[in-house]
Amino acid sequence: MDARVLIESFAEFARSKNVDRPTMIRILEDVFRAMIRKKFETDENFDVTINADQGDLEIFRIREIVDDDSEDIWDFDKISFTEARKIEPDFEIGEEVYEKIELEAFGRRAVQMARQTLIQRIKDLEKDILYNKYEELVGEIVSAEVYQILGREILLMDGEGNELILPKAEQISKDRFRKGDTVKAIVHRVDMSNGNPKIILSRTSPVFLERLFENEVPEVYDGLITIIKIVREPGERAKVAVESYDDRIDPVGACVGMKGSRIHAVVRELQNENIDVINYTENLDLYVTRALSPAKVSSITVNEETKRLSVFLKPDQVSLAIGKGGYNIKLASRLVGYEIDVFRELNEYEEEDVDLMEFVDEIDSWIIDELKKTGLDTAKSVLSLTKEDLTRRTELEEETVDEIFRILGQEFDQ
């Protein structure tokens, strides 16, 4: 393979990978200089000129002519007078010899190795370009097409044919994709695995929800409304605390839009995830009240040492505060940064009720704690539920729930 064929084939391959001309020339020169170092031990006195468009390659070895008896004759950049005269009869001592080295001088094996090295360098460069591209896109939304669905992940292709990965853990539980579907997600992170970039996407990250708001709400995109914090149970419920520095802008109204037009687009993308948009405030009591919406809070007691809040509500508000599957109270706790304990306010009739702590000798304390976490702090509040509701709300075993009902029921039977 001569120099022209080698360079032209490499240049064509490089252009197909969108490698710019300066980078292509630099790679070619690096590879040829590596060949020179392998054969001549150094490339310091070599001049390499490449014209990738024409397929031209010129390699010149530059040496100074010294006397045959000179002490410097063994230096890499020196040539004896006798040897120089063999190249050109009229050379004189002190002149420089520019000796052209043909590619064939390196041997067929070295040329084949150079060709493989050039291709590998482009592939490595392609990996670096891909890594750097997506490293800059971390936290940004991308769209890609599903091309393979595996048990633990979905493989997608971007517009340039690069493989992206959406792991099962980063999918919304209600997501159902088929081959050919277009999927929106954020670039979660970029890993290197065995020298190959691995691009991980996410649809469960709070950042994904934040970017969707930026796309749908111009005031958020322009910075007129700031998203203070987002907490999510992906596909089920989310709470978004927002704040406006312009008194003329209602941050909640702007995010929801006329008749919910803006937030509906976000909800649809998130498989009907229920999104509560809350006006942020530094007033903790007010913030907690808003976070527990739609429940109406009667009073709040704060324990800064334990970072816990005791929230008191009317009996009919307790289930609203806890929410389906306990998501409302869990998300509210994460949003405000405090553990929230819910308690029912008792009316005169309910004052005849019995506090669950009275049963600590018969019911394990950890079970009572589980009941209290869901707002059940008295015997009647527990007995007002069905066994199925209590099992679902607390995730206690059915046998345990049966025993709780038996013990509490006996109190009132007496």
| 246 Cβ contact partners less than 8 Å away, ≥ 6 residues apart | 224
The reported pTM is: 0.68
Q: Mind listing the pLDDT tens digit for each residue in 121-161? A: 888 888 888 898 999 999 999 999 999 998 889 999 998 88
3-state secondary structure of 238: strand
Residue 349 has pLDDT above 70, yes or no: no
Quick one: which of 95, 113, 93 has its CA closest to 103? 113
Q: What is the dihedral of CA 327, 330, 333, 336, to 10 degrees?
A: -40
Give the SS3 label for residue 17: coil
Walk me through the domains of the chain, giving residue ranges and CATH numbers.
3-132 (3.30.1480), 142-204 (2.40.50.140), 205-280 (3.30.300.20), 349-413 (1.10.150)
The DSSP secondary-structure symbol of 346 reads P
Cα–Cα distance for residue pair 138/132, rounded to 1 Å:
10
List, in sequence order, the alpha helices (H) in 246-283: 251-256, 261-269
- pLDDT of residue 295 exceeding 60, the answer is yes
Question: Which stretch of DSSP H or E encloses residue 339?
Answer: strand 339-344
Question: For residue range 355-409, what is the model confidence (pLDDT) as tens digits?
Answer: 788 787 788 888 888 888 888 888 888 888 888 888 877 778 888 888 888 888 8
Q: Is the pLDDT of residue 8 over 80?
A: no
Could you check whether the bond before residue 294 is cis, i.e. omega within 30 degrees of 0? yes
Strands in 8-138 per DSSP E? 46-51, 56-66, 78-80, 96-100
How far apart CA 377 and CA 365 sit, in angstroms, is 12
The reported pLDDT for the residue numbered 219 is 92
Average pLDDT of the chain, as a whole number? 87
pLDDT digits (tens, 9 = 90+) for 226-254: 999 999 999 999 999 999 988 889 999 99
Q: How confident is the model at residue 1 (pLDDT cuts 50, 70, 90)?
A: low
Tokens standing for residue 381: 């509040």
